[in-house]
A and B are shown apart, each in its own frame.
Chain A
């Protein structure tokens, strides 16, 4: 049965991909992968904004903002614009709203994404190679979605019993136990074999969701928290598909019909087949290139336990993608991800001299995924980037000591070194030094490290003051290595 369904979904995928490739022409699907708060929306917004403005840069006498991108450096890009996306049942990426939020009078980062949305970017460029050089167009399809949902992908491989056991084990760890105490207390008193009971299920789900929410809070910054829809329900708010929770099942337990365990298991399976699978199939099964955005800084703020947790979450999630060397045929019928860029976002929150160390930590965070990709023949690169750069660099000299600092406006409520910022004041921040040995960052049990004891503390900054072009539209903000990311992700296809 499962082989049949697999075959069926594979065939469906192939047909869908073929149809899309024919309708679209030259182009690729770029998978922007990242857990919540990794900066997916900002990345996509900045990317679209850069390409929309790139073609006019020279005409308006601005410097080329993406010099590492070959097609831009060689002045071969004719135009870049947003287009109606192919899927009518998915919302359009609210590009204008995000730009307005970033450049408006109160300069805010976009709200966390609650719904899936799609963006199609069409680039017209002058082709140099191939059989028919000359002007051509190239389409990049990008999907934005709540990062929490990504946590569901590993569930596809797990049964209810496995998931229950793992969740209980994880919640017993020193770091999480206090957060999970209430829910664990409640479920310890439950009998899996008891008669099914909606109100008990509801209460269990509520407490479980409460535990997940608490662990995600900024101070803890934990990551491995499936199922993702519990954190960000989207259109499933209050649906029975979300009223389940793990139960303390004994070893080798078999659910009896009509029991609480049976009901939970049924709902878990329904969640997988009706929520997780379609999400994966529609948006992730057919990617050509992937960028994995990782917000290592909040995990570093929290402590080694959060960092290890992030490592585990990334490892689980990235295992779900199909990676390997592609060719012309596979691109048509069964695309594989042949280039992966692992990017530490918010690189503007620390000094560029620390970027090598940040990249080393990032390599460590995604070591398994990188070796898997290497083995399958895909190309992997690691980079520290900032799609929108909110700070500048400076040195602070006090007495005989000189510190490499970054200067920006910290968000309201951020605190460091006895200062509480109001979101208006500029400040020079020295965020501390990352360890030279990346392993060191993973050692220890620290979680939600208080500000006074931390060796590093990365504040969040407000978006930079916008600049406006001759037509009164906001110009793309400065960035760090966004062009390098673009060159790696799709520069080869724009030759």
Chain B
């Protein structure tokens, strides 16, 4: 749309033509532009899934439930009985000998100290994971509304998360410079993503690839089905913890529970979408691998499942949605599982 040739307002009648009449213009219908605009505003389903999953995991608020009440009250009783037992133990130690009593008391004190430290660490871990999730939400909002002030504040927080990592120092310094300049909110966020995220994304992908490889290998060589079940579970748990750490979270014990919950609900939400994402191909392909060897086919499916878990973990742990970067697909993280179909899928994604 240019101003150069000043076009005057014009009207073209579209009524029925008289027989033999001919229009001197051509009317070309155009696709509705507003639908495209709406699609841009409502955001892509991937991002919505990630936010919902985060809400179900990290940002979950405690709510009242009878089951919870039962567990807490039983826990209280057990704590009492444990305290009683400890008290009796130390008392009986003292009756035997003064020295033994003091040693027992000292050990109990040390145990208490360790417990307090553990609780503190857990709380901090949960808090930190929560902060990453909130950051994700705020950055998504700032990107959507192109809010410069919000973007600036949140980019500062983002840089602060990676404070202790020398590898990100250059990127952080660059962002700090940019924050002072006049850059649109949306652009600032995209620059931050391009500066900070690729290294982390690559690390997370390597992690996923490694886990998928190990799981499929174990499935092929394991002597019993139960063994590879345990291996898959352990690898999946280890994988999502590693990914959370890469992106700046710090899952502890309870934190891991929340993390698993978030990843689980992301898997559940995106389960339907996943069928279009190569997993279906994989299960169909399984037939082929299974014909060669049942074990091999199983190994491939287990690997693909682990890779999907890894992708879900990336989506929920990443402190920002994928704006400028491309979200990883199964073919990206575990190309060895898709040796022949991977290329076709890659070509499809290029569109």
For window 408-433 of A, CB contacts with B under 8 Å fall at 410, 416-419, 424-433
Task: Please state if A436 and B3 are interface contacts (CB–CB under 8 Å).
Answer: yes
Task: Please state if A397 and B3 are interface contacts (CB–CB under 8 Å).
Answer: no
Distance between Cα atoms of A432 and B30 in the complex (Å): 18
Task: Please state if B28 and A394 are interface contacts (CB–CB under 8 Å).
Answer: yes
Instruction: Give the number of A-B contacts (CB < 8 Å).
Output: 99
Query: Of A419, A433, A454, which one neighbours B11 at CB under 8 angstroms?
Result: A419
Distance between Cα atoms of A352 and B14 in the complex (Å): 21
Chain A residues within 8 Å of B6, by CB: 433, 455
For window 5-60 of B, CB contacts with A under 8 Å fall at 6-15, 24-30, 32-34, 37-38, 41-42
Beyond A397-B28, A405-B12, A427-B13, whether A433 also contacts B3 by CB under 8 A is yes
Query: Of B3, B37, B41, which one neighbours A435 at CB under 8 angstroms?
Result: B3
Task: Please state if B38 and A398 are interface contacts (CB–CB under 8 Å).
Answer: no
Minimum distance in angstroms from B183 CB to a CB of chain A:
20
Which interface residue of B7, B9, B37 has the most chain A CB atoms within 10 A?
B9
Distance between Cα atoms of A425 and B12 in the complex (Å): 10
Minimum distance in angstroms from A385 CB to a CB of chain B:
11
Nearest residue (CB) in B for A405 is B12
Decide yes or no whether B69 CB sits under 8 A from chain A: no
Task: Please state if B11 and A398 are interface contacts (CB–CB under 8 Å).
Answer: no
Query: Of A353, A395, A430, which one neighbours B1 at CB under 8 angstroms?
Result: A353
Distance between Cα atoms of A352 and B40 in the complex (Å): 15
Minimum distance in angstroms from A406 CB to a CB of chain B:
10
Decide yes or no whether A194 CB sits under 8 A from chain B: no
Task: Please state if B9 and A393 are interface contacts (CB–CB under 8 Å).
Answer: no
Decide yes or no whether A270 CB sits under 8 A from chain B: no
Task: Please state if A426 and B9 are interface contacts (CB–CB under 8 Å).
Answer: no
Task: Please state if B34 and A431 are interface contacts (CB–CB under 8 Å).
Answer: no
Decide yes or no whether A396 CB sits under 8 A from chain B: yes
Distance between Cα atoms of A484 and B15 in the complex (Å): 35
Task: Please state if B10 and A430 are interface contacts (CB–CB under 8 Å).
Answer: yes
Chain A residues within 8 Å of B10, by CB: 396, 403, 405, 416-417, 429-430
Query: Of B14, B24, B32, which one neighbours A427 at CB under 8 angstroms?
Result: B14
Query: Of A417, A418, A426, A431, which one neighbours B15 at CB under 8 angstroms?
Result: A426
Nearest residue (CB) in B for A435 is B3
Nearest residue (CB) in B for A410 is B11
Minimum distance in angstroms from A476 CB to a CB of chain B:
15
Decide yes or no whether A363 CB sits under 8 A from chain B: no
Chain B residues within 8 Å of A397, by CB: 25-28
Chain B residues within 8 Å of A429, by CB: 9-12
Decide yes or no whether A305 CB sits under 8 A from chain B: no
Minimum distance in angstroms from A358 CB to a CB of chain B:
13
Nearest residue (CB) in B for A397 is B26
Decide yes or no whether A456 CB sits under 8 A from chain B: yes
Which interface residue of B12, B14, B30 has the most chain A CB atoms within 10 A?
B12
Task: Please state if B7 and A425 are interface contacts (CB–CB under 8 Å).
Answer: no
Query: Of A353, A395, A430, A431, which one neighbours B28 at CB under 8 angstroms?
Result: A395
Chain B residues within 8 Å of A481, by CB: 34
Task: Please state if B28 and A425 are interface contacts (CB–CB under 8 Å).
Answer: no
Query: Of B3, B24, B27, B41, which one neighbours A428 at CB under 8 angstroms?
Result: B27
For window 427-451 of A, CB contacts with B under 8 Å fall at 427-433, 435-436
Decide yes or no whether A73 CB sits under 8 A from chain B: yes
Minimum distance in angstroms from A76 CB to a CB of chain B:
13
Query: Of A396, A424, A457, which one neighbours B27 at CB under 8 angstroms?
Result: A396
Chain B residues within 8 Å of A424, by CB: 15
Decide yes or no whether A67 CB sits under 8 A from chain B: yes
Minimum distance in angstroms from B168 CB to a CB of chain A:
34
Minimum distance in angstroms from B104 CB to a CB of chain A:
47
Distance between Cα atoms of A310 and B244 in the complex (Å): 56
Nearest residue (CB) in B for A452 is B8
Nearest residue (CB) in A for B38 is A67
Decide yes or no whether A369 CB sits under 8 A from chain B: no
Query: Of B15, B27, B28, B34, which one neighbours A352 at CB under 8 angstroms?
Result: B34
Task: Please state if A394 and B30 are interface contacts (CB–CB under 8 Å).
Answer: yes
Task: Please state if B9 and A417 are interface contacts (CB–CB under 8 Å).
Answer: yes
- 1/0 contact string of A347-373 vs chain B (CB within 8 Å): 000001110000000000000000000
Chain B residues within 8 Å of A396, by CB: 10, 12, 25-28
Task: Please state if A430 and B7 are interface contacts (CB–CB under 8 Å).
Answer: yes
Task: Please state if B42 and A428 are interface contacts (CB–CB under 8 Å).
Answer: no
Chain A residues within 8 Å of B32, by CB: 392-393
Chain B residues within 8 Å of A436, by CB: 3
Query: Of B9, B14, B28, B41, which one neighbours A456 at CB under 8 angstroms?
Result: B9
Task: Please state if B30 and A428 are interface contacts (CB–CB under 8 Å).
Answer: no
Distance between Cα atoms of A338 and B217 in the complex (Å): 60
- 1/0 contact string of B249-292 vs chain A (CB within 8 Å): 00000000000000000000000000000000000000000000
Decide yes or no whether A221 CB sits under 8 A from chain B: no
With contacts A73-B42, A425-B15, A428-B11 known, what are 7 further pairs, Cβ within 8 A?
A: A397-B26, A403-B7, A407-B14, A410-B11, A429-B10, A429-B11, A483-B38
Question: Could you list which residues of chain A lie within 8 angstroms of chain B, going by C-beta atoms?
Answer: 67-68, 73, 352-354, 392-398, 403-405, 407, 410, 416-419, 424-433, 435-436, 454-457, 459, 480-481, 483-484
List the 6 shortest-distance A-B pairs measured between CB atoms, nearest first. A398-B25, A457-B9, A432-B9, A417-B11, A426-B14, A428-B12
A-B CB contact pairs (8 Å), 29 listed:
A68-B41, A73-B42, A352-B34, A393-B32, A394-B29, A395-B28, A396-B10, A396-B26, A396-B27, A397-B25, A397-B26, A403-B10, A405-B12, A407-B27, A416-B11, A417-B8, A417-B11, A425-B13, A425-B14, A427-B12, A428-B12, A429-B12, A430-B10, A430-B12, A433-B1, A436-B3, A455-B9, A456-B9, A480-B34
